[in-house]
């Protein structure tokens, strides 16, 4: 009963101008150590919200998250996040971006030389050793995402959370990154929760695919166990019957949801508004200041 | 083929660009074309301006004679410099004379008290144009530095807290548009009431000017710093939350660097405003500096006055330009965002 990560009957309601908006309802998921989980669903269904609750960046209004039987109350490096837009500090070099995280997490447990070594090791892992001194502006989108992953891995997280890590990349770079991620995963055997829009990505990388229903009050619709042998190879899998079966399952689910979604356009807009709420509020604050100039 | 010009398509003054392109390139190599555009074009523009000025000025008859053209202004520029050199020589001669007299007095066994008094006497010649320039520069930098030292921390704090922002915003908005000349009488009265000392570090007029500059330099820096700080990307804040950075580390490593470009925008605005304010304040209050020079020349009303005022106008503009370039150079070395367009 005591699983590694337990997302226990989580629900979240945001207050909006049009009254409270229930974005997630009764999300229930148990994750074992070393498992690779994908969250897939239509835009605005609350995938990112689930991830943010696990990360501690958002507080669930109902239920809660337990990691190794301890409740998650705030963000922390044991639940490292790889953000969709890499979120590297543009004024720090590749090395310093990772080193900042390493210094923060291993302040007391590692010596200076060890922290330097560990930073280099993690950048080596994502094949970025050649660009240690470059600034994020000077490297490509794929490289930035590699550094973002290195930074997260360097924290030695119990759970690695990835919010559409490859969503902003072109498809060729994305394939490279997926292969890299599989390699790293084979070596480190991290517990990973990844949000994706890409069906192939989900099937290729995951042990389980969590398909979410549409919001508001989104929840887990179906769970697909992907029992493909590892290491997985995308070329041979393209012809594989099981692979294509899993793929078809996910596509079917998404398609059904899409059709089912049509009549509730009003609700859909409301959910989108809810999901983007934080950003909108930030933008308004900013605008308030801008106006004041 | 004409060289591709950046603004060619942007602003669509094709005929002009083509004309310049024709003048600058075609038969020339690329480097000479570039040189022509970077040097020749501004040079031509200045030349055209000087010609128009020379031609136009002759048409204006004032009570102090014809409005001076570039030649007269140049002549006065040299005259002002010569006056400065002459004044310096006079000062040097004065101190030499004084030294001799002091020596003589010591030899004659005069009381030490009297010798001290002789030694402390300083030259009281009139301030030259060059002196006034340095007085103004010193005043504006003092006012600007004081303003920045106050405005940057205030801006950071206000930018970080929505509540504080709301608290301070009305005050800032009300004081921001106040003209420096409205501050000046208040500052003068307060300074003469509060700053009472037998052996003052600064003269009161210097303080009046500097504080007036400070009061006008504060607002752009405060506002822009606050906007820069509050505009820190939410994602970067999330990174700092995941890393559990302390408040201090977060401010130092994330908030400040990302606010630096905006901060410099504010500082540059402030310095520009400060320089303009200072000249006006010096004119009004008769405080030493370029503004006083302009006012004195105006009151003087000699046949050279207008040309001298024009020298001052050009000097003021040129110094303002250099100050802005200086800030830009500083921004370039401090800011991480080298790709930002710095104009």
Q: Residue A102: what pLDDT?
A: 94
Q: Residue B336: what pLDDT?
A: 77
**Residues comprising chain B, all counted:** 343
The DSSP H or E segment spanning A159 is strand A159-163
B258 in Cβ contact with B235 (< 8 Å): no
Cβ–Cβ gap B236/A89 under 8 Å: yes
To test the contact with chain A by mutation, choose from B172, B233, B242 the residue with the greatest count of A C-beta atoms within 10 A, namely B242
Backbone angles phi, psi at A63, to 5 degrees: 65, -165
State what percent of residues in chain B have pLDDT above 70: 88
Task: Please indicate if any CB of chain A lies within 8 Å of the CB of B241.
Answer: yes
Q: Residue A117: what pLDDT?
A: 93
pTM value is: 0.75
pLDDT tens-place string over residues B28-56: 566 676 777 778 888 999 999 999 998 98
Tokens of A132: 């240690």
pLDDT tens-place string over residues B64-89: 788 888 888 899 999 999 988 898 88
Residue B9 has pLDDT above 70, yes or no: no
Of the candidates B233, B243, B257, the beta carbon closest to that of A104 is on: B243
Residue B143 has pLDDT above 90, yes or no: yes
Q: Considering only A149-158, A272-281, B141-150, B248-257, which range has the smallest mean pLDDT? A: A272-281
Q: Residue A277: what pLDDT?
A: 43
Q: Write the CB contacts of B2 (distance below 8 Å, at least 6 apart in sequence).
A: B18, B21, B22, B25, B26
A32 in Cβ contact with A21 (< 8 Å): no
Q: Tell me the Ramachandran region of residue B246: left when phi exceeds 0, alpha when psi lies from -120 to 50, beta otherwise.
A: beta
The DSSP H or E segment spanning A115 is helix A112-125
Name the E strands within chain B.
61-62, 65-66
Q: Residue A41: what pLDDT?
A: 87
Q: Residue B122: what pLDDT?
A: 78
The C-alpha of B236 sits at a distance from chain A's nearest C-alpha, in angstroms, of: 6
Of the candidates B227, B235, B337, the beta carbon closest to that of A87 is on: B235
Distance CA A153, CA A156 (A): 5
Q: A5-75+197-292 domain in CATH 1.10.150?
A: no
Task: Please indicate if any CB of chain A lies within 8 Å of the CB of B234.
Answer: yes
Low-confidence ranges of chain A (pLDDT < 70): 1, 260-293
Q: Write the CB contacts of A241 (distance below 8 Å, at least 6 apart in sequence).
A: none
| A195 vs B286, residue with greater confidence | A195
Nearest partner of B218 among B261, B164, B165, B154, judged by Cα: B154
Of the candidates A91, A101, A286, the beta carbon closest to that of B336 is on: A91
Residue B12 has pLDDT above 80, yes or no: no
State what percent of residues in chain B have pLDDT above 90: 32
Q: Any idea what the Cα angle at residue B80 is, between residues B76 and B81, rounded to 5°?
A: 120
Cα A50 to Cα A61, A130, A212, B321: the distances in Å are: 12, 36, 10, 54
The C-alpha of A150 sits at a distance from chain B's nearest C-alpha, in angstroms, of: 14
Q: Residue B339: what pLDDT?
A: 60
Residue B155 has pLDDT above 90, yes or no: yes
Locus of tokens 């906007």:
B227
Q: Residue B29: what pLDDT?
A: 64
Name every chain A residue with its beta carbon within 8 A of the beta carbon of B340. Answer: none
Cβ–Cβ gap A76/B244 under 8 Å: yes
Distance CA A27, CA A24 (A): 7
pLDDT tens-place string over residues B210-245: 999 999 899 999 999 999 999 898 889 999 999 999
Cβ–Cβ gap A290/B234 under 8 Å: no
Name every chain A residue with its beta carbon within 8 A of the beta carbon of B169. Answer: 292
Task: Please indicate if any CB of chain A lies within 8 Å of the CB of B238.
Answer: yes
Name every chain A residue with its beta carbon within 8 A of the beta carbon of B249. Answer: 104
Confidence of residue B338 (pLDDT cuts 50, 70, 90): low
Mean pLDDT estimate for chain B: 84
Provide the residue ranges of all domains of chain A, joining segments of one domain with +. 5-75+197-292
Q: Residue B116: what pLDDT?
A: 80
Task: Please indicate if any CB of chain A lies within 8 Å of the CB of B246.
Answer: no
The ipTM estimated for the assembled molecules is 0.81
Nearest partner of A293 among B265, B321, B91, B237, judged by Cα: B265
Distance CA B320, CA B324 (A): 6
Distance CA B284, CA A85 (A): 55
Q: Residue B202: what pLDDT?
A: 79
Task: Please indicate if any CB of chain A lies within 8 Å of the CB of B164.
Answer: no
pLDDT tens-place string over residues A73-107: 899 999 999 988 888 999 999 999 999 999 999 98
pLDDT tens-place string over residues A163-188: 988 888 888 888 888 998 898 888 88
Q: What share of chain A is helix, strand, coil (3-state, %, to 5)?
A: 45, 20, 30
């Amino acid at each position: 009963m005591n699983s590694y990560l337990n997302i226990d009957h989580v629900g979240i309601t945001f207050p909006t101008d049009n009254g409270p908006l229930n974005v997630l309802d009764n999300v229930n998921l148990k994750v074992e150590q070393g498992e690779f989980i994908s969250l897939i669903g239509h835009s605005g269904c609350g995938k990112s919200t689930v991830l943010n609750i696990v990360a501690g960046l958002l507080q669930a209004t109902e239920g809660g998250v337990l990691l190794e039987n301890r409740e998650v109350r705030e963000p922390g490096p044991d639940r490292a996040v790889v953000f969709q837009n890499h979120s590297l500090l543009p004024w720090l070099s590749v090395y310093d971006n990772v080193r900042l995280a390493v210094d923060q997490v291993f302040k007391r447990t590692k010596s200076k030389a060890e922290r330097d070594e560990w930073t280099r090791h993690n950048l080596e892992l994502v094949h970025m050793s050649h660009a240690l001194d470059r600034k994020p502006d000077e490297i490509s989108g794929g490289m930035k995402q590699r550094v973002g992953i290195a930074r997260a891995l360097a924290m030695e997280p119990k759970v690695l959370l990835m919010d559409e890590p490859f969503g902003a990349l072109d498809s060729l770079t994305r394939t490279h990154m997926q292969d890299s991620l599989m390699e790293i995963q084979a070596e480190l055997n991290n517990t990973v929760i990844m949000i994706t829009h890409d069906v192939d990505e989900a099937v290729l990388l995951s042990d389980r695919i969590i398909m979410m229903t549409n919001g508001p009050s989104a929840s887990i619709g179906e769970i697909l166990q992907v029992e493909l042998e590892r290491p997985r190879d995308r070329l041979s899998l393209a012809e594989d019957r099981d692979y294509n079966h899993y793929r078809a399952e996910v596509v079917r689910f998404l398609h059904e949801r899409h059709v089912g979604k049509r009549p509730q356009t009003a609700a859909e807009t409301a959910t989108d508004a809810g999901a983007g709420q934080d950003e909108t509020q930030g933008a308004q604050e900013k605008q308030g200041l801008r106006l004041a100039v | 083929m004409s060289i591709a010009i950046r603004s060619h398509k942007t602003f669509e003054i094709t005929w002009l660009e083509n004309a310049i392109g024709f003048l600058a390139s075609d038969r020339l190599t690329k480097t000479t074309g570039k040189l022509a555009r970077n040097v020749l074009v501004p040079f031509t523009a200045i030349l055209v301006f000087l010609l128009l000025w020379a031609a136009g000025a002759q048409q204006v008859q004032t009570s102090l004679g014809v409005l001076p053209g570039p030649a007269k202004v140049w002549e006065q520029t040299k005259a002002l410099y010569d006056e400065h050199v002459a004044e310096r020589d006079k000062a040097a001669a004065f101190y030499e004379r004084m030294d001799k007299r002091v020596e003589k007095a010591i030899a004659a066994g005069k009381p030490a008290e009297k010798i001290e008094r002789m030694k402390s006497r300083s030259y009281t010649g009139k301030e030259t144009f060059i002196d006034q320039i340095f007085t103004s520069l010193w005043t504006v930098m003092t006012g600007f530095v004081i303003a920045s030292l106050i405005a940057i921390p205030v801006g950071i704090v206000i930018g970080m807290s929505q509540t504080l922002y709301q608290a301070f915003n009305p005050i800032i908005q009300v004081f921001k548009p106040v003209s420096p000349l409205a501050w000046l009488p208040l500052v003068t009265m307060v300074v003469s009431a509060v700053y009472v000392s037998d052996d003052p570090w600064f003269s009161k007029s210097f303080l009046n000017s500097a504080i007036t500059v400070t009061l006008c330099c504060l607002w752009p820096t405060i506002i822009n710093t606050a906007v820069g700080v509050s505009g820190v990307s939410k994602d970067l804040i999330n990174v700092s939350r995941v890393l559990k950075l302390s408040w201090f580390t977060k401010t130092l490593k994330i908030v400040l660097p990302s606010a630096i470009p905006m901060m410099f925008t504010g500082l540059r605005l402030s310095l520009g405003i400060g320089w303009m304010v200072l000249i006006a304040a010096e004119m009004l209050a008769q405080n030493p500096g370029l503004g006083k020079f302009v006012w004195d020349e105006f009151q003087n009303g000699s046949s050279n006055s207008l040309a001298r005022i024009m020298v001052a106008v050009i000097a003021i503009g040129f110094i303002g330009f250099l100050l802005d370039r200086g800030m830009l150079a500083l921004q370039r070395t401090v800011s991480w965002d080298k790709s930002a367009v710095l104009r």
